[in-house]
Chains A and B, each alone.
Chain A
Amino acid sequence: MAEATLSSARPARRPIAGRVRAALILFAIFAALPPVAAAIDDPFLVLIGTRILAYAIAALALDLILGYGAMVSFGHAAYLGFGTYAVAVLSSYGINDIFVQIAAAMGVSALFALITGAISLRTTGVYFIMITLAFGQMAYFFFISLSAYGGDDGYGLSQRSTVLGSDMLENDFTLYYATLIMLIALFWLCHRIVGSRFGRVLTGIRENRVRMEAIGYSPFRYQLTAFVISGCLTAVAGVFLANQAEFVSPAFISWHRSGELIVMVVLGGIGTLTGAIGGAVAVLLLEEVLGSLTEHWKLWFGLFLVLMVLYSPHGITGVFKKLGIGGSAK
C-alpha cells in the first residue's frame, strides 16, 4: 500500500556524489552564518540558526526511516521530548555533561523505540501512521504528567550543558558550532548507513518487501533496527534544542511537531539526506518569516502545505526543478 505508492512517486536514483556536494555547500553556508550575524549585528540570527540546525538533525533522523524505509512515523516528536527532558531532568540532579545527557537520551529513546516500534511494525500503511501517532501522544501525556518539571507549563533550565566540565556552550556562537558539528557528523553517519549493506537492504524492503523476504532477509529486524537508530538520533536533536531554548516544555513535542518533522522531510524531497536538511531550513525560515508578518502565520503555512501537496508532488526540489534551477538540489 503505502510502500508501493511512496516508491512510485520518487524520482529515479541520482548519483549520490551530487547530493553530498549540495550538502557541503549547505554546511559552508551554515558555517558562514555567525560571522555574518556578527557583522550585521543581529545575534538573534545565531539562535534561530541553532534551532534550525537542531531540527535539521531531527529531520535527517526521520528521513532515515521515512525516506529509506517508507515508515511514516507520526510520533517522532516523542524522541525530541526524550532529548530535551534528558537535559532538564539530569541537570536538575546536577549532571550537566552533554555526553552523559546524550547517552541517557539515546538510551531511553532506544528502549521506547524498541517497544513501540516492535508493536507498530506488526502493521503497515495507515495503521503504522496512526499507531506511531498514538504512541507519540502517549509520550506527550507522560511529559505533561511530570509535575516536578513544570507539567504543562514547562521547565526553565538553570544552565546549558557542559562539555567535559567546561561551560563553553553558554556562548551562543559555540553552541551554534557544536550543533553544526553534530549535524555534519550525523549526516556523515546517515550517509554511511544508507550506503551500507544494511541501508541497501532497508531500501530493498521499501521497494519490494516480498522479494527481500524471498531472498532470506527478515524485514522486521531491519526495519526495527532502523526505527531505533532514527529514534536515538532524533533524541540528540532534542538535547541541542533544549540547550538552544534553555527551556523544555511538552508544547515542543505535541503531535503538531511530529507533523512538522514529516513536512520538513517531504518538502525537502524524501529519501535524500541533503533534502531533509534543506527541508528543515525551508520550514523554519518560512515559519519565522510568516510569523514576523502575521499573528496568524499557521493559516498561511497550512495553505502553503495544502497547495504544495496538491500541486507539487516532489516538494521544494520539484519546484526548483520546474523553475530550471535544480542544479544544486541533485
Chain B
Amino acid sequence: MALNMIVCVKQVPDPEAPASAFKVDEAAKRVIPAGGVAQVVSQFDGIAVEAALRIKDALGDGKITIISMGPASARDAIKHGLAMGADEGVLLCDDAFENGDSYTTALALAKAIEKIGEYDLVLFGRQATDWDAGTTGSGVAEMLGIPSVTLAKSVTVKDGKIAVERVLLEGYDTIEAPLPAAVTISNELGEPRYPKLQQIMQAARKQVTTWTAADLGLDASQVGRQAVRLNLERLFQPVSEVECEVIEGETPEETAQKLAQRLREEKIL
C-alpha cells in the first residue's frame, strides 16, 4: 500500500544557542533575532520527518510531503526534510499569516492538507521549540476531523491502522487508530538521520510549491493577527533572584565539608 504522509515542520531560531544570545523586546512583545543564531528545523519536527521515513522504509513504499508555514527562509526547513529523504515540499508563505497563533496556523495547515487531497498520515513534532505550544497537531486533526495521537515514540502502519507507542510520564501506552490519522512525535523516537551530501544535492532538484492564503481560500481576516484566539499581553525574561555562594577550600575534602556544614546551617540537610 502506498501511504501518503504529510509532515508539518516549522523553522525556529536554534533553541540550543547560548542563553546569553536570547533577548526579548518587551515593548514589541517579541524575541530580538540574535546575530549568529541559526534558523533550524524545530527539533521534534526533524524527528517527525524521521518517523515518516522509517514508516516508508518499513513499508518499502510511500510518499512524504513536507509542509511549512513561515517566511521565505522556511524553504530551507523544507529542503532539509527533502534532503533527509522526503519527496515534495509545500511552503505556505504570505504576509497575511504573520503574527498568528496555533489556531490560525492549524487552519492554514489543514486547508493546505485538504488541497493536497490525498493523505493517510499527518505527522508533527510534539511542540515547536520556540513557543513550545504543543497544540498545532491536535488542531489540524480536529479541523480535518481525523483521530489524533500525541507524544509518539514509535509509529507503525498496518492494515489501514496505526499503532503508536505514546510516551507517558511513567511508561507508555500502545494506541491504535484507523487511517487517516494525525500523530505528534516526541524525542524518544530517536535521532533524525543526517542528510548526506549527495542527498542535499538531490533535494535541490525536488519541487517546493508555494501557496498564499488566497491559494488556500483564506483571507487575512481568517489567518494572522486579526484571527488569533490567544492574545499576547506580555513577553519577558524571568529573572533568577538567587545569589550563588561559591564554596572554596584548600582540598576537595575541605570544600565538601564546608558545603555540608552550610547545608546544615541553613537547615536544608
Asked if A pairs with B, the answer is no
